[in-house]
Structure 1
Amino acid sequence: MGTPNDHVPLAEQVEELLATGGPLPIVAAGDPVLRRGTEPFDGQLEPALLARFVEALRITMRAAPGVGLAAPQVGVALRIAVIEDPAPVPEEVRLTRGRVPQPFRVLVNPSYEPVGARRVAFFEGCLSVPGYQAVVARPAEVRLTGQDEHGRALDEVFTGWPARIVQHETDHLDGTLYLDRAEPRSLSSHQAVAEHWSQPTAERAARALGFELP
């Protein structure tokens, strides 16, 4: 379900969406709302409605389950995303990918820039592209700026898997899907990843499927 009417105020769209109760429907690739970018948040939702919307994003992300969710993924073209990663992974994966637990956080009007030139590539998936994963090379470290849901300034450096999460979710707010940055030859079903490419790195997949890593 995308945005039902571009001329309906965002507050009305959100109220209508929240009236359904429970986890929100997640928009799939092909819906224009995922491609046209978002409107910076500037008070379009009054504080109580913003809090309800953020809670709905959290419920939806956890139910999916996922480690991040951007407003366009529920049909709302507003520059807001949430992230949370309990990171219940084996120690080898934690060390190789830098996947450490991230508490629930709200990103309002986020943007990022690389810190350094190092890039790393791992399989990545998306709730809006169900059933598939692909290898994406991304900066290993980024500086994220923006605000939280209370308007407090955010200026933080993320590394490892948390850096990947904030890049993925911020990209959604710019109309970019992870597939736009992926190695096309790496595209694999969840089943294929589980059967063949569950190693901590993507090196074996790169050799077998014929693509290069940074």
Structure 2
Amino acid sequence: MAAERDHASLAERVEELLATDGPLPIVAAGDPVLRRGTEPFDGQLGPALLARFVEALRRTMHAAPGVGLAAPQVGVALRIAVMEDPAPVPEEVRIARGRVPLPFRVLVNPSYEPVGTGRAAFFEGCLSVPGWQAVVARHAAVRLRAQDEHGRPVDEVVTGWPARIVQHETDHLDGILYLDRAELRSLSSNRAMAERWTQPTPREAAAQLGFDLPGRDT
């Protein structure tokens, strides 16, 4: 009975969020929902409600704009995230960062593990920490296990920038923000990023701001 009540409560929360048109409000750092972790999805939302919620996450991600969004970022503690990256970047940035177009996809109950020892360090930001970016070293390749929104299994190796997005969004589901993994001396405002750190890699930022670049492939 307790599980049924919990399921009903989550469904009601999602219904409330979807009651208004337009993008969902994004929760900012400091809200406990971003730190509590999430519960695995096991049917708390019926198929129709899940589809509506996924579409709302997609609209919200596009409007922000961002390349990924996890359910806790809209106040829902379920292990669900969405990703999509058209990767509209110059060729030198694409090559340096491994940033290739990533079609829209839904990750349900995702987990990842590193493949190999390669790491890549680049600036990244977060919709829940608006206005700032910092250098984060992440696994260059990960094995992603999940289900899609239809319950079909996902088991694949992801590399480059898509691997970074997978790690960032899965971390959200574990109550981890990118700042927990960041080189804090690299923390830069969006204005500083636009004026100073537009290079394909953060080498110059590391030299000027006084931090060591972790990992390899930077």
TM-score by length of 2: 0.94
1:193-212 to structure 2, matched below 5 A, reads 193-212=193-212
Unaligned runs of 5+ in 2: 1-5
Task: Tell me the CA shift for residue 93 of structure 1.
Answer: 0.3
Matched with 2:75 is 75
Alignment-mate amino acid for residue 158 of structure 1: V
Matched with 1:39 is 39
User: Structure 1 residues 43, 8: CA separation in 2 closer, same or farther (over 3 Å shift)?
Assistant: closer
CA distance in 2, matches of 1:177, 1:49: 27
Task: Tell me the CA shift for residue 20 of structure 1.
Answer: 1.8
Task: Tell me the CA shift for residue 174 of structure 1.
Answer: 0.2
Write out per-residue CA displacement over residues 89-122 of structure 1, whole angstroms, 9 at most, x where no aligned residue: 0000000000000000000000000001111100
RMSD: 1.1
Q: How many equivalent pairs are there? A: 209
Unaligned runs of 5+ in 1: 1-5
TM-score by length of 1: 0.96
Task: Tell me the CA shift for residue 7 of structure 1.
Answer: 9.6
CA distance in 1, matches of 2:139, 2:210: 22
1:41-190 to structure 2, matched below 5 A, reads 41-190=41-190
CA distance in 1, matches of 2:140, 2:194: 24
Write out per-residue CA displacement over residues 49-69 of structure 1, whole angstroms, 9 at most, x where no aligned residue: 000000000000000000000
CA distance in 2, matches of 1:212, 1:88: 29
Task: Tell me the CA shift for residue 8 of structure 1.
Answer: 6.6
Runs of at least 4 residues of structure 1 off by over 2 A? none
